Amino acid sequence: MSAAINWAEAVKPLIKKYKNKKHPLNYENVYQLVVMVVLSAQDSDRHINELAPKLFESFPDMRALSKATPETLTPFIGSVRNFGNKIKWLMEMGQTIKDDKNIPTTLEGLTALKGIGRKSANVILRESGQPAEGIIVDLHVVRVAPRLGIATGTDANKIEKQLMAVLPQKEWDAGMAMSFHGREICRPQPKCEICFMKAFCAYYKAHRQTTM
């Protein structure tokens, strides 16, 4: 990790570019967001977006979800990866929360629910307009952050701790910004030629600068 770079300043263009950009999950309210975040783990946002409308027609809110059974949920989410566990988690969530107004609005409250880890909770907090309590680290951030040089390793929790250590809380939306950046520019085959983070990027300096 580079100590020479002031990352609080360096990430500002990244945050500015993606500020207020909505998560790729097509949710309409916090209830839908929570359910879709649980379903999207180890699956694709696109797949969950495709099945969500019919799911929410039958289960429009937490009250309806509280009455769900494996038999009533499977037709809607049987194609989702790890759907057996996710059905159990959603049923327990519905029975625990019972009403949309009871959905937790803190990291601690959200991570107490089965199927929601730190990354998922951070996404829910961001998208529902709550103060950041952590930094979103998804598979894109696990790729982008070490490339930039702002963090090292491949463990999402350790990367989050490193990011929280070098960025002030007001810049914690850098996680979602890096996720969007990873989807659009810093892909597995990075588009370094159009990247506006080149000046700070360790990967670019080490691998691409001499050949571009």
Residue-wise pLDDT for 134-155, tens only, equals 999 999 999 999 999 999 999 9
168 part of a folded domain: yes
Alpha-carbon separation of residue 188 from 45, 98, 191 (angstroms): 18, 41, 9
| Amino acid 130: pLDDT | 96
pLDDT tens per residue, range 15-38 = 999 998 999 999 999 999 999 999
pTM: 0.92
What is the distance of C-alpha 193 from the center of its chain? 26
Helical (H) or strand (E) element with 158: helix 156-166
Q: What was the pLDDT predicted at 20?
A: 85
Count the alpha carbons within 13 Å of 83 in the hemisphere toward its beta carbon. Answer: 16
The low-confidence residues of the chain, meaning pLDDT below 50, are: 1-2, 212
Residue range of the domain that includes 153: 7-20+135-208
pLDDT score, position 2:
46
In-domain check, residue 2: no
Residue 67 in domain: yes
Is there a contact between 100 and 30 (Cβ–Cβ < 8 Å)?
A: yes
**Domain of residue 48, CATH code:** 1.10.340.30
| Residue where a domain stops, chosen among 83, 102, 127 | 127
CATH code, domain with 180: 1.10.1670.10
CA–CA gap between residue 206 and residue 108 (Å, rounded): 40
Q: From CA 81, how far away is CA 30, in angstroms rounded?
A: 22
Is the separation of the CB atoms in 36 and 136 below 8 Å?
no
Task: Give the number of domains in the chain.
Answer: 2
Same domain, 41 and 102: yes
**How does DSSP classify residue 100?**
G
